[in-house]
Amino acid sequence: MTTRREFIKNTALASAGLAMGGISTKMNAASYSRVAGANKKVNLAHIGIGNRGWEIINDFDKTGLANVVALCDVDLGAEHTKKALDKFPNAKRFKDFREMFDKMGNEIEAVAIATPDFAHFPAVMMSMAEGKHVYVEKPLTRTFHESELLLKAAKKYPNVVTQMGNQGHSEANYFQFKAWKEAGIIKDVTAVTAHMNNPRRWHGWDPNIKKFPAAEPIPETLDWDIWLMAQRYHDYNKDFHYGQWRCWYDFGMGALGDWGAHIIDTVHEFLDLGLPEEVTPLKLKDHNDYFFPMSSTIEFKFPARGNMPPLVITWYDGLDNIPSVPQGYGVSELDPNIPSVGGGQIQPAKLNPGKEIYSKELTFKGGSHGSTLSIIPEEKAKAMEKDLPEVPKSPSDHFANFLLACQGKEKTRSPFEISAPLSQVFCLGVAAQRLNRKIVFDRNTKRVTNDTFANAYLTGEPPRKGWEDFYKI
């Protein structure tokens, strides 16, 4: 296992390499080999191989660009990890990513991470320090501070390719929004309504909760201590495990962190939103100190940017919290562009996941993931057909885009420089949810100015003993 001292030594060597105008010898050698062997497959390690991890393993495999050399999961004996182990019997197996890097780091060129939200950061940080290209599922991190550290790490390790897994950022929605913005079709946007009103795992739980669930026996095959990573110790309970972690403030990011990256990603990037000035929880049904509200309405206020006016995003989630839609919206059919979730197709709702974008002259209707925008009402759309620019097709999906970037052939579309600020928007939203009060935020200093406790919440609790060095750049 890589010791803390060794981790510090490695990161210090990388820093010294940067100071001399490059990166460490280890990283340079790897980078040059990737360029020289640009047509060969990328040696890929997967951290988190069950459930969502299994899905992205197959997505990477379909590209024909990856050679899976290692599989890492805290529960290699579980039913949900067997498929990946059987699919790649020659890949080396590990429960701890630190041991994986220690024993076979020189054989790995890139890493794909599909662990729970709270567990992203340590694996990403060590991967970058080791000079490995990183693909990590959304949201990037669970805390604002962790995303800030990854922004700094991206600058420190400029030869490391990064990509967050908001897959629609490589599909039609991305290219259409970019083309319409550049052509002046999307301009002077003042308001966006974003919504995800499908059932969530915590719907039906008792909001009068007074303490965490009682301890249960840890499954024999699960290494619970590694599962927790840098998070403070919690006794094992089935309602923390598998996808249940998404329900809890200590482990997940709720509906906003889960779906926001698929719904407001193009709005955030192409309208140059950055970070909000104010975040206000307008509605939090059944608020409690442990898991996310049954329904949330959260308002994000962004200032004017250049010649673009101030903009307000209003987020809605919850079964009984359906936002009103503009006249001429039309029907809300199940969107075929939204992929299956957790192995099953998403269920239809009164209003399917998506957004409405309001500008001074036009209103746009949009979905989630790769779904394209349409101008509403339909009569207005037909009148503007001749003015709409041609939208280029995507040259690669999100997974191929990452691997091609590892080979030096493309640039990733959701690198940390773009995805970290987006994730920080969600972190600010979750802070407002958790604390149940308005946050006033200074975009320049990146500090909460109206609430000392809320400002501390952006950093979060100190990492557990043994994980402190992952939080040092």
Q: What's the average pLDDT block by block, 10 residues per block, for the chain (473 residues)?
A: 51 42 37 49 98 97 98 96 97 98 96 97 98 97 98 97 97 97 97 96 97 97 97 97 96 97 98 98 98 98 97 97 91 62 51 95 95 94 94 97 98 98 98 97 97 95 95 90
Q: Is the backbone peptide bond immediately before 463 cis, with ω within 30 degrees of 0?
A: no
User: Is the same domain home to 184 and 296?
Assistant: yes
Collapsing DSSP to helix, strand or coil, 380 comes out as: helix
Q: Is residue 106 part of a domain?
A: yes
Collapsing DSSP to helix, strand or coil, 334 comes out as: coil
Token code pair at residue 4: 């803390």
d(CA 146, CA 144): 6
Q: Is residue 446 part of a domain?
A: no
- Quick one: which of 283, 275, 282, 284 has its CA closest to 311? 275
Amino acid at 260: G
User: Is the same domain home to 73 and 102?
Assistant: yes
User: Is the same domain home to 53 and 162?
Assistant: yes
d(CA 259, CA 430): 13
101: containing domain? 4-166+403-412+453-471
Residue 10 has a pLDDT of: 53
Q: Answer with the one of 392, 427, 442 that is the final residue of a domain.
A: 392
Sign, Cα dihedral of 49, 215, 208, 206 = positive
- Quick one: which of 254, 248, 257, 281 has its CA closest to 439? 281
CATH number at 268 reads 3.30.360
User: Is the same domain home to 135 and 33?
Assistant: yes
User: Is the same domain home to 66 and 133?
Assistant: yes
Residues 6+ apart with CB under 8 A from 399: 56, 59, 60, 62, 63, 135, 167
Q: Is residue 233 part of a domain?
A: no
User: Is the same domain home to 134 and 174?
Assistant: no
User: Is the same domain home to 127 and 254?
Assistant: no
In order, the DSSP letters of 54-67 are HHHHHHHHHTT-EE
Pairing relationship of beta strands 189-196 and 311-317 according to DSSP bridges: parallel
Amino acid at 105: G
- b/e per residue 244-256 (b: at least 16 CB within 10 A): bbbbbbbbbbbbb
50's torsion region: left (phi>0), alpha (psi -120 to 50) or beta? beta
In what side-by-side order are the strands of the sheet with 295-302? 374-376, 363-366, 354-359, 189-196, 311-317, 295-302, 278-285, 439-442, 447-448
User: Is the same domain home to 198 and 325?
Assistant: yes
Token code pair at residue 399: 């997974």
Q: Is residue 441 part of a domain?
A: no
Collapsing DSSP to helix, strand or coil, 414 comes out as: coil
Q: Is residue 214 part of a domain?
A: no
Q: Is residue 26 part of a domain?
A: yes
d(CA 91, CA 81): 13
User: Is the same domain home to 110 and 188?
Assistant: no
Task: Output phi, psi for 317, to 5 deg.
Answer: -140, 165
Residue 461 CA to its chain's centroid (Å): 21
Residue 71 has a pLDDT of: 98
In order, the DSSP letters of 31-59 are HHHHHHTTTSPEEEEEE--STHHHHHHHH
Residue 272 has a pLDDT of: 98
CATH number at 66 reads 3.40.50.720
Count of the separate structural domains present in the chain = 2
User: Is the same domain home to 144 and 201?
Assistant: no
